[in-house]
């Protein structure tokens, strides 16, 4: 039982912090508390991201339609996710700091593919998802300069903003949200803020490239 408890604790604690808490019984060590909260929140975000876009996918499958969902907007969002995942993976950051991106990547790629499939463009849908995985594999291969990946990752905010604006324009023109899932949008909101909270200099994921 003690060994199991230790293993579970080490999911969010380092060996040093485990000893600080459960050997020295110093439960008020600030650096360890911050690290534990950051790691725990990161794991929670990763866990939540596994299902965050499932309602969107289910709504599309049920309606057999991708009406109202912008391929361009989805692709821009997917681009930002791929850049972030690739940069984090190549830098060997803890999975808890970018694992949510992996699951969002998979789900967003499926959404993009479904838009094509339900639009009668099956070949384009298959090509779309294959292209996403191919590009992701290339970026994660470690063969590209880290500065190049940093530039891509640094472009995330404007890329995501552009994607949201494209989707907003699509909604405005259609005077409808089409097959957009309100549940997914609602679930994404706290996830974004949670990510902001758990990313700090102590979690192994810097906000800038040290060589620039």
Per-residue pLDDT of the chain (212 residues; tens, 9 = 90+): 777 888 888 877 888 888 888 888 888 888 888 888 877 776 777 676 677 788 888 988 998 988 888 899 999 999 999 999 999 999 998 887 888 899 999 999 999 999 999 999 999 999 999 999 999 999 999 999 999 999 999 998 899 889 888 888 887 777 655 555 554 555 554 544 444 444 443 444 444 333 33
Domain hosting 180: range is: 52-203
Buried b (16+ CB within 10 A) or exposed e, 102-129: bbbbbbbbbbbbbbbbbeeeeeebeebb
> For the whole model, what pTM was predicted?
0.68
Q: Do residues 107 and 53 touch, judged by C-beta distance below 8 A?
A: yes
Instruction: Work out how many domains the chain is built from and give that number.
Output: 1
Q: Do residues 107 and 82 touch, judged by C-beta distance below 8 A?
A: no
Residue 145 lies in a domain: yes
Residue 196 lies in a domain: yes
Residue 34 lies in a domain: no
What would the pLDDT profile of 89-106 be if each residue is shown by its tens digit? 999 988 878 888 999 999
Residue 39 lies in a domain: no
What would the pLDDT profile of 150-165 be if each residue is shown by its tens digit? 999 999 889 988 988 8
Question: Rounded to a whole number, what is the distance in angstroms from the first to the last CA of the chain?
Answer: 48
């Amino acid at each position: 039982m003690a060994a199991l408890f230790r293993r579970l604790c080490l999911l969010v604690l380092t060996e040093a912090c485990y000893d600080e808490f459960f050997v020295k019984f110093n439960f008020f060590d600030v650096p360890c508390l911050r690290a534990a909260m950051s790691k725990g929140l990161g794991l929670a975000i990763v866990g939540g991201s596994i299902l965050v876009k499932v309602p969107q996918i289910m709504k599309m499958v049920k309606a057999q339609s991708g009406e109202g969902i912008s391929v361009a907007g989805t692709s821009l969002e997917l681009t930002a996710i791929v850049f972030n995942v690739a940069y984090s993976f190549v830098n060997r950051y803890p999975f808890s700091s970018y694992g949510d991106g992996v699951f969002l990547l998979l789900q967003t790629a499926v959404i993009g593919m479904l838009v094509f499939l339900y639009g009668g463009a099956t070949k384009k849908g298959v090509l779309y998802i294959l292209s996403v995985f191919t590009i992701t594999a290339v970026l994660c291969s470690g063969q590209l300069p880290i500065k190049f990946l940093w530039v891509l990752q640094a472009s995330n905010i404007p890329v995501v903003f552009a994607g949201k604006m494209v989707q907003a324009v699509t909604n405005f023109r259609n005077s409808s949200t089409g097959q957009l899932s309100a549940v997914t949008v609602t679930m994404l909101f706290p996830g974004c803020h949670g990510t902001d909270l758990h990313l700090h200099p102590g979690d192994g994921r810097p906000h800038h490239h040290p060589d620039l």
